[in-house]
Chains A and B, each alone.
Chain A
């Protein structure tokens, strides 16, 4: 019985952490927020490190890995509010594109030469459509890939998460993979990003609570503040545990995979939402300013809580599994009808 990450998985997390700290620093994020170009350095580095090809089979130039291998990288990406479409390209699209007949997409993804975005689960918006070489969409009973489309920028709260409305102008290439599974992978990946965001909000708040003095003492010494932070730690830790299990379930295709993913996304979203609320409350006035970096994570968090299914959407999906716990047991015949 081993629920631990391997040395390799931890090493990959560490190099990605260093990379994101440099190339997705708060200064660079602020430059993007101010209208600067995102640049392609980070994407190229991720290709060189094998991250973009992590979910691509080895005979297509990838690493042949799975979501467990990628999980800690995604948490770091959330922690550093990485603006690039790692989730769409590597988590949602690449595993589905094994079933694409044309285009050598897998090779191009692994080499960092193709950005793939996605429009799934009823959302009308597409992340980074302007730089996407193709967009994965729901098509007939499965998925389809489009390469010709017009993209219109939609203003967003998070200026480093660029959304577009697209109009498809060319043919749709059918992809014989499940749209539901692609969306579920998106939910799993979003949960991992949210765990990273929640941890960043917690770390920023702990740092602030240690430094900020009122009544001649750090505000972190007040239990009204420290207990909020402890609660965020508890929930962030538990959210990671649930997401780790969901990644395992996805990698092994266990029978409870959909339940595990919905559990992780619902809980990770709720945990990140509480971190969002409390981080701003603890930072108070300074956190409410445009100049402070806090809102990079506040806004990314609010976006991802809703992406690939809100907590409510996932709980709705789980309801049938909850009822199944008690079998098909009918109501007791003696029960009064007054409630009906």
Chain B
């Protein structure tokens, strides 16, 4: 047991830190919810790409740095500490790219990977539907074969970056006569294909984060199928497995948020209130526990292991911690908690309110806390399905 980083990893950290210090936009970019700010984010992604940082975890043969999981985590941590902009390319770099590397044909890889890497093509994900959320395999958007095309009809929802994305990969039902997990196909197509209609959804925090995507007689060439026809569920499982074995949310995020909480307590003169101190100490404990757990999962991955279903532990830990930190913040703010102005005893009140509401989403996206508990109960503890 030795948590010391190698000289190589330390050197990588120093290199990344220096580059980010010189390049991260200041003042920070506005949230990517308007065409202008989204374009600014894409420009930033191109800068990252030119410096070789857009997808460091990709193998060298695909244009990445072949970074190990530890380098990946170091990069994520430094990026967070440097206050780097939201990454609008993550759907491509973390989901589509790794999926293509496993299931894509050589032609597909050559066609799509470079655009992900240089941020010339922004990808979105078309998985969820109005009636297929946690029960994703019940999806109903259908694709019917017509010569060398599929004709797609249906609706997707909660599509992140939907209003600005260039391409989408979607799960569609190609065979309605088999069990629901069979008969699904993984299909990619441009968002400007005739019949694709995108309607932005305004989030409860006022930001335009995601969209509904309506698909009416959308013609997609068969060569855009990733993996085999009717075998899209297996392709999806790869996508999710890659996600599970990636570095978890950087603990530095929660150390930062907790520090802000302590600042609020001081400014509100609550820092000698024993009730407040006990609550802050409890959050300090949970933050440090998460840090130790994240270190453990990184070590598992770095030393060749896999997390599998146990990744659900990590998801529940960080999402519930995030929620609890911001809920406590709201209570510490007291009367300032509902006020949107700079009288609030916060370092960056606009940012804080936005993060507060986003923290409320943490236990919902990427698998709700309930789905995570089902996974643990069934796959790890061996309890029967309900």
- Which residues of chain A have a CB within 8 Å of any CB of chain B? 1-6, 68, 206, 209-210, 217-218, 220-223, 226-227, 229-231, 233-234, 237-239, 241-242, 244-245, 248, 251, 259-260, 262-263, 266-267, 312, 314-316, 318-319, 321-323, 325-326, 329-332, 335, 339-340
Contact = CB atoms under 8 A, between A and B. Distances in A.
Contacts of B382: 206, 210
Nearest to B273: A339
Main secondary structure of the interface of A (DSSP, over half): helix
A322 B281 contact: yes
B288 A260 contact: yes
Given A227-B373, A241-B289, A323-B280, 17 more contacts: A1-B302, A4-B1, A6-B1, A221-B384, A226-B381, A227-B370, A234-B317, A237-B313, A238-B292, A244-B296, A251-B1, A266-B282, A323-B266, A325-B262, A326-B263, A331-B267, A339-B334
A323 B3 contact: no
B5 interface: yes
B285 A233 contact: no
A231 B310 CA distance: 12
A245 B292 contact: yes
Given A220-B383, A221-B386, A267-B286, A339 B268 contact: yes
B259 interface: yes
Interface centre among A233, A244, A329 (most CB of B within 10 A): A233
A223 B370 contact: yes
B144 interface: no
Given A206-B382, A230-B376, A322-B284, A2 B2 contact: yes
Interface centre among A218, A230, A319, A330 (most CB of B within 10 A): A230
B316 A234 contact: yes
A36 to B, nearest CB: 35
Nearest to B279: A315
Contacts of B295: 3, 241, 245
Contacts of A233: 313, 376, 380-381
Interface centre among A234, A266, A312 (most CB of B within 10 A): A234
25 contacts: A3-B1, A3-B296, A210-B384, A218-B384, A220-B384, A227-B377, A229-B377, A229-B383, A234-B312, A238-B289, A245-B292, A259-B288, A260-B288, A266-B285, A267-B285, A316-B281, A318-B281, A319-B277, A319-B278, A319-B281, A325-B259, A325-B262, A329-B266, A329-B267, A339-B270
Given A238-B289, A244-B292, A230 B373 contact: yes
B279 to A, nearest CB: 9
Interface string B1-30: 111111001000000000000000000000
Interface centre among B258, B285, B345, B384 (most CB of A within 10 A): B285
Interface in B243-274: 255, 258-259, 262-263, 265-271
Main secondary structure of the interface of B (DSSP, over half): helix
Q: Which 3 A-B pairs have the closest CB atoms?
A: A3-B299, A315-B281, A230-B373
B181 interface: no
A106 to B, nearest CB: 24
A242 B288 contact: yes
Contacts of A234: 312-313, 316-317, 376
Contacts of B380: 233
Contact of B267 (A220, A259, A335): A335
A227 B374 CA distance: 7
B385 interface: yes
Interface centre among A209, A266, A340 (most CB of B within 10 A): A266
Nearest to A335: B267
Given A234-B316, A238-B317, A335 B383 contact: no
Contacts of A330: 266
A79 to B, nearest CB: 16
B293 interface: yes
Contacts of A210: 382-384
Nearest to B262: A326
Nearest to A265: B285
A334 to B, nearest CB: 8
A263 B284 CA distance: 8
B285 A1 contact: no
B298 interface: yes
B201 interface: no
B90 interface: no
A2 B299 contact: yes
A255 to B, nearest CB: 13
Contacts of A316: 277-278, 281
Interface string B308-321: 00101100110000
A260 B292 CA distance: 9
A312 B376 CA distance: 30
B241 interface: no
Interface in B168-182: none
Contact of B288 (A3, A68, A263): A263
A262 to B, nearest CB: 8
Contact of B292 (A206, A227, A241): A241
A147 to B, nearest CB: 36
B3 A339 contact: no
Contacts of A331: 266-269
Contacts of B374: 223, 226-227, 230
B290 interface: yes
A236 B301 CA distance: 20
B3 A3 contact: yes
Given A226-B373, A339-B270, A221 B383 contact: yes
A340 B259 CA distance: 23
